[in-house]
Amino acid sequence: MAVAKKKKSGRKWYERYLPFVAQSPRMRLEWLVAVIRKGALSREEVTPYIRLLLEGDDVEGEEALLEFFSDIDEGTLGEMVAAADIYDTPKLFRFLATPTVEQAVEALAKAAPPYEKRPDLVYDKVFQAVYSRSEELFERAAAELAARKDGPAHFAAAHERFQEILADERILSALYPRARN
């Protein structure tokens, strides 16, 4: 009976005891999803694990993560976006198969830490990550954040700056149409 139970779980006994950094990307993500669903750790405690999950420039690992992320429900993904550090949010947003407006609002509302010397550059990266996924999604999330009375203090200035950057890009692409190719 115990043997049948082991085969159903699919995990070998030693995989449960591997440190997080030694696990495969699939195992890391499965563990992280399980922890978020159980509520075993707070958002602040989950943040470093998200950073470790997204760390590295392994192309094969990123392709595998794209596939793994598509199997996760929206609620858990929303919790991951909420728990992610502002520096990890652009990379995490790339892995979301179909980001929702709530996830985009959560990403755009993140504030840079007080020690950040150039918070505007950090906000630009987050805004660009959301905008590159879908212009409509970005506009809907920005409109929702702008309508909030208790919205983040940095949002209005960061959004205005990002709109100026987009206008500059349109002007430059009109002047130099082959520059992007």
Domain boundaries, the chain: 14-175
pLDDT at 7 over 70: no
Tokens of 141: 């999330």
Tell me the pLDDT band of 150, cut-offs 50, 70 and 90: confident
Instruction: Count CB-CB contacts under 10 A for residue 26.
Output: 13
pLDDT at 4 over 90: no
Give percent of the chain with pLDDT exceeding 70: 83
25-29, 32-36, 143-147, 151-155: the lowest-pLDDT one: 25-29
Mean pLDDT of the chain: 85
DSSP, res 22: G
The amino acid sitting at 47 is: T
Q: Which residues contact 116 (CB under 8 A, 6 or more apart)?
A: 122
The amino acid sitting at 13 is: W
Give percent of the chain with pLDDT exceeding 90: 47
- In this predicted structure, what is the pLDDT of residue 5? 43
| CA count, 13 A, side-chain hemisphere, 121 | 3
- For residue range 34-78, list pLDDT tens digits in order: 889 998 889 899 999 899 888 866 666 677 778 888 888 888 999
Segment 83-106 shows an average pLDDT of 92
Given a contact cutoff of 8 angstroms between Cβ atoms, the answer to whether 87 and 122 are in contact is yes
Rounded-to-integer distance, Cα 92 and Cα 85, Å: 10
Of the two residues 18 and 173, the one the predictor is more confident about is 173
